[in-house]
Amino acid sequence: MPRLLILAEDAHEFRQLIEAAHLPELEIAAASSPAEALAEDSEIVFGEARFIREVLPKLPKLRWVQSMSAGIERLMDPALRRDYVLTNARGVFGAQMSEYVIGYLLAHERRIFERYHAQRELRWDRHPGGRLRGKTIGIMGVGSIGAEIAASAKHFGMTVRGYTRSSETCPDVDAYYHGGALLDLTRGCDYLVSVLPNTADTRHVVDAAVLAALPPHAVFINVGRGSAVDEAALLDALETNKIASAVLDVFQQEPLPEDHPFWTAPNLRMTFHTSAVSTTEDLVPVFIENYKRYLRGEKMMYIVDFERGY
């Protein structure tokens, strides 16, 4: 009988939902921290990557890890073992992150922030707003999350460009760009959105050249990983009006230090790695489906390629 270790701060909530599913041939243990985990006999781990990293050396029978997040950087260290199947939760967060991105696009076009400031200043502001229809959005990374953003953008009548390593599977992307064609994608984009993971290939890919290729009215949004952005280049682009605005949910260092210039950068909106929040109700169905496939010996969803890092 496979033994599952649930390893998360709210592990017991996850346990209740999994037990309620009455999965066959499954023995379940739950721990709220690595210190509490009795891991030696566990064949499967479902948990937070930060905790899983700590217990990896203590899992001689490990065959499969289901991460509770889409980002799995903590498990990509080449010094860590890779003799197991790793799956992540990349299919869970697309709808939330699409709402986040479209929300900021609408706020920018409809001048929501400006109108609020006008209200606070008792100033009647009749400057016309814009619209998303007819605008062009470039999406860097068209996996499950990027595909959700693309579908939402098409709903609003936008032209969608997609930048990927090689795949062209999203029907809502009007034109694909690969490899060295990133500048071709950015030229003429009204909005550029990064959903890129943290890999060696994506580090600082949004650099001064990419930002310079955008038109001055463009807005850059990052909901992927902070490492994809050259922060000094972005700060310069904002301070010199090379782009109109930026929205950042992720940063190279989190929490962002209090002395970081982003806090006071002009036309920068910040949130705090909150564009999508995982819940037990979202994550448990992913585990359940993958467990059923695991028992049947079928290919599981969202398998991570250790070499690619996603």
Going by pLDDT thresholds of 50, 70 and 90, the confidence category of residue 66 is very high
Residue 37 clears pLDDT 90, i.e. is over it: no
For the entire predicted model, the pTM comes to 0.91
3-state DSSP helix/strand/coil % of the chain, to nearest 5: 35, 15, 45
As a whole number, mean pLDDT of residues 259-273 equals 97
Burial class (CB in 10 A: 0-12, 13-18, 19+), 230: buried
Residue 298: the pLDDT is 97
Tens-digit pLDDT profile for residues 78-118: 999 999 999 999 889 999 999 999 999 999 999 999 999 99
Tens-digit pLDDT profile for residues 242-260: 999 999 999 999 999 999 9
Residue 9 clears pLDDT 80, i.e. is over it: yes
As a whole number, mean pLDDT of residues 191-208 equals 95
State yes or no: cis peptide before 255, omega within 30 of 0.
Answer: yes
Active site residue 273: yes
Mean pLDDT (the chain) is: 96
Burial class (CB in 10 A: 0-12, 13-18, 19+), 161: buried
Residue 40 clears pLDDT 90, i.e. is over it: no
* CA dihedral of residues 214, 93, 37, 35 (deg, nearest 10): 40
Residue 195: the pLDDT is 97
Tell me which residue has tokens 């993958």. 290
Mode of pairing for the β-strands spanning 245-248 and 64-67: unpaired
Active site residue 111: no
Residue 38: the pLDDT is 78
As a whole number, mean pLDDT of residues 264-268 equals 97
Active-site position among 82, 273, 293, 296: 273
Q: Return the bridge partners of 285, or none.
A: none
Residue 277: the pLDDT is 86
Residue 186: the pLDDT is 98
Residue 271 clears pLDDT 80, i.e. is over it: yes
Tell me which residue has tokens 């994809």. 228
Going by pLDDT thresholds of 50, 70 and 90, the confidence category of residue 71 is confident
Going by pLDDT thresholds of 50, 70 and 90, the confidence category of residue 175 is very high
Joined together, the tokens standing for residue 92 give 């869970």
Residue 152 clears pLDDT 80, i.e. is over it: yes
Separation between Cα atoms, residue 74 and residue 58, nearest integer Å: 17
Residue 309: the pLDDT is 86
Joined together, the tokens standing for residue 63 give 């065959």
Going by pLDDT thresholds of 50, 70 and 90, the confidence category of residue 278 is confident
Tell me which residue has tokens 């909106």. 269
Residue 221 clears pLDDT 90, i.e. is over it: yes
Residue 39 clears pLDDT 80, i.e. is over it: no
Going by pLDDT thresholds of 50, 70 and 90, the confidence category of residue 166 is confident
Active-site position among 15, 90, 161, 225: 225
Tens-digit pLDDT profile for residues 107-146: 999 999 999 999 999 999 999 999 999 999 999 999 999 9
Residue 239: the pLDDT is 98
